[in-house]
Amino acid sequence: MKTISGKLEQDIAELKKMLPAEDILTFSFVSGEKLPFTVIFADPVTDKELLGEQVIRPLLHYAGKPSAKEVGKNITAPELRSEKTFDKLSAEILAGNPVLLWEGADEGLIVGTKKVFVRAIAEPPTDVTIKGPREGFIEDIKINSSLVRRRLKNPNLRIEMMQVGKQSETYVAVCFLEGITPQETVDAVKEKLQAIQIDVVADSSYLVHFLKDRKYSLMKQVGSTEKPDIFCAKIAEGRVGILVDGSPIALTVPYLLVEDFQACEDYYVPAARATFTRLLRIFALLVAIYLPAFYIAAQLFKLQLFPIKLLQTISGSIREIPLSPSLEMLLVLLVLEVLNEASIRMPKYVGMALSVVGALVLGETAVSAGFVSTPAIIIIAFSGIGLYAVPNLIEQTSVVRLAMLLAAGSVGTYGILLLTAFLLFKLVTAESFGAPLLSPFSPVIPHDMRDSLVKYNMGSLKTRPKTLKSKNKRRMKDA
Amino acid sequence: MKQPRKFLKSLPMKLYILLAAILTIVFFSNDFGLVDIQKTAVILAAGVDRTENGFHLTAQIGKPKGSDRSSCGTASVDVEGDGETISDCITEIYSKTGWVPKLIFCDLVLVGEDTAKEEVMGALGYFLRTEYMPDSCSVAVCKGTARDMLKSVSAIEDTTSAALGKLFSDAAKKSGKVMKQSLKKFAVDYYGASESSYLPYITSEPQDCGGESGGSEGPSSSNGGAAGSTGSAGGAGGGEESKPDKKIFKAEQTALFSKGKMTALLDSDQTFTFSLLKGNVEAGSFAVEDHGEPVTVSVLKNKGGADLKVENKPQVTLSVSVKVLLFDRGVPSPVEDLAKKELSKDAVEKSKQLLQEQITKLWNTCVEADCDLFHLTRSLYRSSPKKYAEWKELLLSTADLTVKATVESMQ
Amino acid sequence: MHKISTRQIYFFLAAIAPVGKIMLMPTQLAFFSKNDLLFPAVMNYFLQAGAVFLALLFASKNRTFYDALADTVGKAAAKIIVCLLALFFLYASILPLLEQKLYVQKTLYDTLPSPVTFFPFFLLSAYLCAKPIASLGRLWDILLPVSVVGYAGIMALSVSNADFGALMPVGISGAEGIFGGFAYSLSWFFDSALILALAGKFEYRKGMAWKGMLFYLAGGAAIVFFLAVFYGVYSDIALQQTFAFSEISKYFSGITVLGRIDYFFSFALVFVILFYGSLPLHAGVECVCNAFGDKRYLRIVLSVVVNVGLLVCVYLLNFKLYVTLQTVTKMLFWIFPVFCVLLPALCLLLKRRKHETAA
């Protein structure tokens, strides 16, 4: 690897050769003792004001030796490092840290005057709470790390940085509590991250694929959150957290399915209320997945599932509908998915108008025109709302719902049972970094059930979840 | 070696895709037990009458409600079929109408009086045998033919089957006025050691002239509309009637059966007594005299039973215990009396006597009809098969009856 | 691959194994033994519990059936015996499969559908059989509450309509009836053979044989109670009632108001039966894989062959259903005690380990 020669012109030429882009600029000045200095920096990502104040101005009167140590003493920037190799120097320039070279330099000085464009810390849109903290992660890994540090003021909190992505060299922080998180899990995570051979890591979800055991599985195997309080709580339980520069979504492993039924608010409200809302979420999700399927299965294969009066009402409603019940339900479901997708993508200004059109067209006009029946609309609407009771699983559950519908429309109730059996088997055999996905239900861990479908009060949660095999089991002492 | 491994590795994904494709094709094209609801005749009630050549089945088929909520509620159409067996009748209905008849919602099987007198199990056997009919449905005998009964228009409900179904509600059972019977229970009694059972006996009477109709205008059975399709229904009776008579249905009488044949009829008092002996009554009432004045006594709690002991001779004890309170007087009462619920001693005594008389009368009717209504033969069979073999034919005719009636007035 | 835990074995014995006996066995017993149907059931349960005890005792060696056999009779003979056991499992699976097929056609559809509606079961079964049998352990953790809820719901809705007096008089069907019922219901009791197939897949703990037997008897007690309620509800027409567990609770008075909520509970039991139905096939595949090397491709091929074979068999037997049931339960019932009672007993004679006998 090439290192600095000490000849300023030569070194600048070498760096310019490595960084030919036009936005890599140089600024040359001469100190009081006629010692020439040059600063090489990336224009878009360097804070030039700081550069001038902390680097250039102090050196204008420099009269010392041309050694990095002596020159460094005159620079007022708190973040200052030295490097000899051009590879590292060029990487730092691209990262937004200018490099200072001078005639006779033994090393180049890297100054931490990066200009960071970040948005303000705000409530994350994917995880809204009524009661509880409203901070959310943002795209800058350093600020995200600071949010974590603020909540876990523990010397054992390790935030180990690594770079992933051949072209993007994205910073990835692996966070864990030493002494609590099992070392095997940490090592497994690091090993998987280091093995990633990808060009660009645009978001944390890119890493999810590599962290999963079953690459093509629909099931979630890596947890995610946008909230630092949840992130810290998960780390404190014995998980490993992963922050990715440029992404506000933090990842946590091992992942348990029951996590997505736990909202952060459950820990801020009384236990009875938390239990009720958790059971409600499960109920809503089950109804959302199974109601359209059972409706179709009943209508096509087993009328007896309906009470007679309901059957007569449904029969009257579908009398003039041209489509078969399964096609009708599929059509309404697809329209709902399209509306869903469009409502996320459309500009805010037309959102209101299109929402009204969607509601009117689907809700009123389609029924009046006899394209779809009222029960189908009601069922799909309820199903659509029910899925969002557990928003973290929306990607999986919407596909499962569609599959259930296909199974019900083809084979009937038996098809629903078979597909459920298949999914259950997949879930019970899935693991995430050694932790069974359906824990604490399969395998049964009675202790961990205190914070699963039901929630005991805080005083009962004295130990960490046994599934995570934490070294330090106790998290609360008796009062 | 590497190629098979590669193939096996990619096999699951290929299989899943193939399966999804097959499922999608099946979804769009299947006919594996598919039920087209528009071509289905949901039979709400079935009426069976014997004919010279077999059976005549009247099926009351439910029509879907309109999606417009302001229109009528349940509507129905009656379709008839003939055949040597009930199954033949249903096949004829199918061939006449083109609808697939479904008995899964059939909540009532009505047997005509003449059919019941001949042999009822021949008519009910099909409903018991078929797997697609719930045997929890109600069964009843009606006066005249089942056809006429089902075709009559109810004054209180849109369909006759709904009106008849109301007769067998839990509230009616608790009043003691109606003895509901299900197909399963009737079959168990028929095939059991007693070979005796009962069925409610339905009668109809015209709604009083000048009275307001209790329900909405029910559809005329001459209407040819059918479940889910237009076009006339085969066999729908009635011509251009200007206004059919509306009927009120009653099931206060009970038909007794011995070996599958109807042998006697219990009047309303006997039916009530039978209910008391079964311990069914929780909100019933009966009339009695209190110092020469008529009073109505309400039964709040009721226990009853039949006990059999066989030593040298069968000894039958029929016992009833009721807790009652004063419900109404036939003459004006002073205001202090209005709050009183307690029966006088005279009324209690009279109630006791009345009950004893009714029980004796009921027992005599059973003996005359050779109907082991209290399943004494079965009890004997269960307790002592030896004695059963000895007494099974003679039990009813030779048994000594003891009646115990206890009336306790609430205070 | 992780092993099945002892708790999961207990769950299987208490809540999964009994569920396979509520479909047609009650009708069979009612036909032969009438109101004495509890006696043959209790007899069968005690016999099978003893066999389960013996099978668990064999499992204390912590070796597979094949390994233990190979050490005693040599590899060739062991392979033959294991293949025979696998064939037995395929034979034993015919009854549960036909029961399930009948049930699906009768109860899950309004009109008798084409037999093709049952065939997707073999897709699921093929998938399950391609996985190591130890992966079923965690499944049983989930199936236990499903089974318990389904059973409890059905019982709660039907007990009030049962006339337990119908079980009297005791002994009226005589020795012929009782022993006839006992013999002709043996075909449903092959759980001890399943334990043999699971040997070596779970870690034996001290006292497991006794505890397993007790759990099995507990499950048996639940089934005996079900039989009592079944006969109490249907009495003299019980012999005509097939798949009574999904009909027995419809007489509850609340059903008329709420609709058929009892289907929720019977679907829960059918869900458990789905897995129980594929278990003999899985056990058969597992036995052969233990004998011929547990390679992934062998497992997959066997699984596909077995399931396709049985699919064809079920299709061909579609119109010979009752003859098949008669053959399996009446004519060839004696095969079951050979593999399910005699074999576990003989297993105790197998050597523990080669080095233990080399003295």
The model's pLDDT over B66-75, given as tens digits with 9 standing for 90+, comes to: 555 454 455 7
Q: Are residues B152 and B237 in the same domain?
A: yes
Q: Which amino acid, residue B323?
A: K
Nearest CB among C7, C138, C267 relative to A417 is that of C267
The answer to whether C231 contacts chain A (CB < 8 Å) is no
Q: Are residues B228 and B273 in the same domain?
A: no
Token pair for A150: 């603020």
Chain A residues in contact with C131 (beta carbon < 8 A): 425, 429
Alpha-carbon dihedral sign for residues A138, A144, A148, A151:
negative
Instruction: Look up tokens 């056999």; give the residue.
Output: C69
Q: Are residues B244 and B364 in the same domain?
A: no
Chain B residues in contact with A410 (beta carbon < 8 A): 23, 26-27, 30, 32
Average predicted confidence (pLDDT) for chain B: 83
H/E stretch holding C275: helix C262-292
pLDDT at C354: 54
Q: Are residues A419 and A275 in the same domain?
A: yes
Instruction: Give the span between the Cα atoms of B348 and B406, in whole angstroms.
Output: 9
**Is residue B27 a part of any domain in this protein?**
no
pLDDT at B316: 93
Question: What is the mean pLDDT of the segment spanning A13-28?
Answer: 89
Instruction: Look up tokens 């050549």; give the residue.
Output: B53
Phi, psi of A448 (to 5 degrees): -70, -15
CA atoms within 13 A on the CB side of B26: 23
CA atoms within 13 A on the CB side of A310: 13
Contact B199/B140 with Cβ under 8 angstroms?
Answer: yes
Q: What percent of chain B has pLDDT over 70?
A: 86
Q: How far is CA C354 from the centre of its chain?
A: 34
- Nearest 5°: the CA angle B11, B13, B14 is 65
pLDDT at A240 over 70: yes
How do residues A433-453 score in pLDDT, each as one tens digit? 999 999 999 899 988 999 998
pLDDT at B226: 37
The two beta strands, B108-112 and B40-51, are parallel
**How many other CB atoms are there within 10 angstroms of residue A353's CB atom?**
10
Nearest CB among B27, B62, B64 relative to A326 is that of B27
Q: Say which residue, A32 or B262, is predicted with more confidence.
A: B262
How do residues A127-156 score in pLDDT, each as one tens digit? 888 888 889 999 999 899 999 999 999 899
A/B interface, count of CB pairs below 8 Å: 77
Q: Are residues A301 and A248 in the same domain?
A: no
**Distance to chain A for C331, nearest Cα, Å:** 32
pLDDT at B216: 38
Token pair for B200: 């409610």
Contact A447/A158 with Cβ under 8 angstroms?
Answer: no
pLDDT at B21 over 60: yes
**How many other CB atoms are there within 10 angstroms of residue A33's CB atom?**
11
Instruction: Give the span between the Cα atoms of A466 and A445, in whole angstroms.
Output: 8
pLDDT at C198 over 80: yes
Answer whether A418 sits within 8 Å of C5, measured CB to CB. Answer: no
**Is residue A312 a part of any domain in this protein?**
yes
For the ranges A168-177, B46-55, C1-10, the lowest mean pLDDT is seen at C1-10
Give the three-class secondary structure for C226. helix
**Is residue A423 a part of any domain in this protein?**
yes
Residues in chain A whose Cβ is within 8 Å of chain B = 216, 299-304, 308-309, 311-319, 325-327, 373-374, 406-407, 409-412
**Is residue A92 a part of any domain in this protein?**
yes
Answer whether C142 sits within 8 Å of A428, measured CB to CB. Answer: yes
Beta-bridge mates of residue B206:
B247
Q: Say which residue, A170 or C357, is predicted with more confidence.
A: A170
**How many other CB atoms are there within 10 angstroms of residue A394's CB atom?**
17
pLDDT at C256 over 80: no
The domain boundary residue, chosen from B226, B258, B290: B258
Q: Are residues A247 and A290 in the same domain?
A: no
Q: Which amino acid, residue C346?
A: L
Per-residue DSSP letter, B7: H
The model's confidence at residue A324, banded by pLDDT at 50, 70 and 90, is confident
Dmax over CA atoms of chain A, in Å, equals 101
Q: Are residues A346 and A287 in the same domain?
A: yes
Contact B402/B316 with Cβ under 8 angstroms?
Answer: yes
Q: Are residues B203 and B182 in the same domain?
A: yes
Contact A379/A318 with Cβ under 8 angstroms?
Answer: no
For the ranges B60-64, B181-185, B386-390, C8-12, the lowest mean pLDDT is seen at B60-64
Nearest CB among C114, C247, C297 relative to B32 is that of C114
For domain C6-347, give the CATH superfamily.
Amino acid/polyamine transporter I (1.20.1740.10)
Token pair for B213: 């109709």
Answer whether A422 sits within 8 Å of C124, measured CB to CB. Answer: yes
Contact B33/C111 with Cβ under 8 angstroms?
Answer: yes
How do residues B288-299 score in pLDDT, each as one tens digit? 888 888 888 889
The model's confidence at residue B224, banded by pLDDT at 50, 70 and 90, is very low
pLDDT at B30: 63
Beta-bridge mates of residue B111:
B48, B141
pLDDT at B321: 92
pLDDT at C220: 96
Nearest one of B364, B254, B349 to B318, comparing CA atoms? B364
Q: Quote the number of domains for chain B.
A: 2
Instruction: Give the span between the Cα atoms of A319 and A316, in whole angstroms.
Output: 5
pLDDT at B276 over 90: yes
Nearest one of A300, A332, A329 to A411, comparing CA atoms? A300
Token pair for C301: 């091929």
Instruction: Look up tokens 């559908």; give the residue.
Output: C113
Instruction: Give the span between the Cα atoms of B157 and B163, in whole angstroms.
Output: 5
pLDDT at B235: 39
Question: What is the mean pLDDT of the segment spanning B149-159?
Answer: 88
The domain boundary residue, chosen from B258, B281, B311: B258
Answer whether B136 sits within 8 Å of C255, measured CB to CB. Answer: yes
Question: What is the mean pLDDT of the segment spanning C6-32?
Answer: 94
Q: Are residues B236 and B354 in the same domain?
A: no
Q: Quote the number of domains for chain A.
A: 3
pLDDT at B211 over 60: no
Nearest one of B147, B126, B138, B252 to B201, comparing CA atoms? B252
Q: Which of B14, B30, B135, B166 to mutate to test the interface with A (most CBs of A within 10 A)?
A: B30
Range of the domain at B202: 37-258
pLDDT at C1: 57
- Residue A463 vs residues A261, A460, A472: alpha-carbon distances, Å: 20, 8, 9
pLDDT at A477: 76
Question: What is the mean pLDDT of the segment spanning C260-286?
Answer: 93
Instruction: Give the span between the Cα atoms of A266 and A272, in whole angstroms.
Output: 9
Question: What is the mean pLDDT of the segment spanning A41-58?
Answer: 87
Token pair for A179: 């002494």
Nearest one of C202, C74, C48 to C137, comparing CA atoms? C202
Q: Say which residue, C227 or B76, is predicted with more confidence.
A: C227
pLDDT at B352 over 50: yes
Instruction: Look up tokens 């590497």; give the residue.
Output: B2
Chains in contact with B, counting 3 or more C-beta pairs less than 8 Å apart as contact: A, C
Question: What is the mean pLDDT of the segment spanning A77-86?
Answer: 88
State the complex-level ipTM: 0.93
The model's confidence at residue C230, banded by pLDDT at 50, 70 and 90, is very high
Q: Which of A256, A414, A467, A469 to mutate to test the interface with C (most CBs of C within 10 A)?
A: A414
Q: Are residues A174 and A235 in the same domain?
A: yes
The model's confidence at residue A382, banded by pLDDT at 50, 70 and 90, is very high
Q: Name the residue in chain B with its Cα closest to that of A321.
A: B38
**Distance to chain A for C105, nearest Cα, Å:** 10
Q: Are residues B51 and B192 in the same domain?
A: yes
pLDDT at A230: 93
The model's confidence at residue B84, banded by pLDDT at 50, 70 and 90, is very high
**Is residue B308 a part of any domain in this protein?**
yes
Per-residue DSSP letter, B176: T
Answer whether B191 sits within 8 Å of C168, measured CB to CB. Answer: no
pLDDT at A129: 83
Q: Are residues B253 and B307 in the same domain?
A: no
Q: How far is CA B81 from the centre of its chain?
A: 22
**Is residue B12 a part of any domain in this protein?**
no
**Distance to chain C for B34, nearest Cα, Å:** 8
Answer whether A304 sits within 8 Å of C8, measured CB to CB. Answer: no
Average predicted confidence (pLDDT) for chain A: 89
- Give the predicted TM-score (pTM) of the model: 0.87
The answer to whether B40 contacts chain A (CB < 8 Å) is yes
**Is residue B13 a part of any domain in this protein?**
no
The answer to whether C172 contacts chain B (CB < 8 Å) is yes
**Is residue A129 a part of any domain in this protein?**
no
pLDDT at B210 over 50: no
Chain C residues in contact with B172 (beta carbon < 8 A): none
Q: Are residues A291 and A408 in the same domain?
A: yes
How do residues C2-16 score in pLDDT, each as one tens digit? 789 999 999 999 999
**Distance to chain C for B132, nearest Cα, Å:** 7
pLDDT at A291 over 80: yes
Q: Are residues B292 and B223 in the same domain?
A: no
**Distance to chain A for C341, nearest Cα, Å:** 31
**Distance to chain B for C59, nearest Cα, Å:** 33
Q: Name the residue in chain B with its Cα closest to that of A322.
A: B38
The model's confidence at residue A54, banded by pLDDT at 50, 70 and 90, is confident
Question: What is the mean pLDDT of the segment spanning A31-35?
Answer: 83
The domain boundary residue, chosen from B207, B236, B258: B258
Q: What percent of chain A has pLDDT over 90?
A: 44
Q: Are residues B228 and B283 in the same domain?
A: no
Instruction: Give the span between the Cα atoms of C90 and A250, in whole angstroms.
Output: 50
**Is residue A188 a part of any domain in this protein?**
yes
Chain B residues in contact with A214 (beta carbon < 8 A): none
Beta-bridge mates of residue B140:
B110
Nearest one of A121, A123, A112, A159 to A139, comparing CA atoms? A121
Answer whether A304 sits within 8 Å of C267, measured CB to CB. Answer: no
The answer to whether B64 contacts chain A (CB < 8 Å) is yes
Instruction: Give the span between the Cα atoms of B373 and C155, in whole angstroms.
Output: 29
Chain C residues in contact with B4 (beta carbon < 8 A): 297
**Is residue B195 a part of any domain in this protein?**
yes
Question: What is the mean pLDDT of the segment spanning B356-371?
Answer: 93
Q: What is the CATH number of the domain that holds B374?
A: 3.30.300.210
Instruction: Give the span between the Cα atoms of C184 and C329, in whole angstroms.
Output: 5
**Is residue B95 a part of any domain in this protein?**
yes
Nearest one of B135, B262, B150, B147 to B199, comparing CA atoms? B262
How do residues B296-336 score in pLDDT, each as one tens digit? 888 988 899 999 998 888 999 999 999 988 888 877 777 77
Q: Are residues A186 and A274 in the same domain?
A: no
The model's confidence at residue B228, banded by pLDDT at 50, 70 and 90, is very low
What is the rounded end-to-end Cα distance, in angstroms, of chain A? 61
The model's confidence at residue C279, banded by pLDDT at 50, 70 and 90, is very high
pLDDT at A323: 84
pLDDT at C219: 96
The domain boundary residue, chosen from A392, A407, A429: A429
Alpha-carbon dihedral sign for residues A448, A450, A453, A457:
negative
Token pair for A444: 């049964």
pLDDT at B209 over 80: no
Beta-bridge mates of residue B249:
B204
Range of the domain at A171: 141-266
**Is residue A464 a part of any domain in this protein?**
no
* Interhelix angle C75-107/C120-129, nearest 10 degrees: 150
**Is residue A131 a part of any domain in this protein?**
no
**Is residue A478 a part of any domain in this protein?**
no
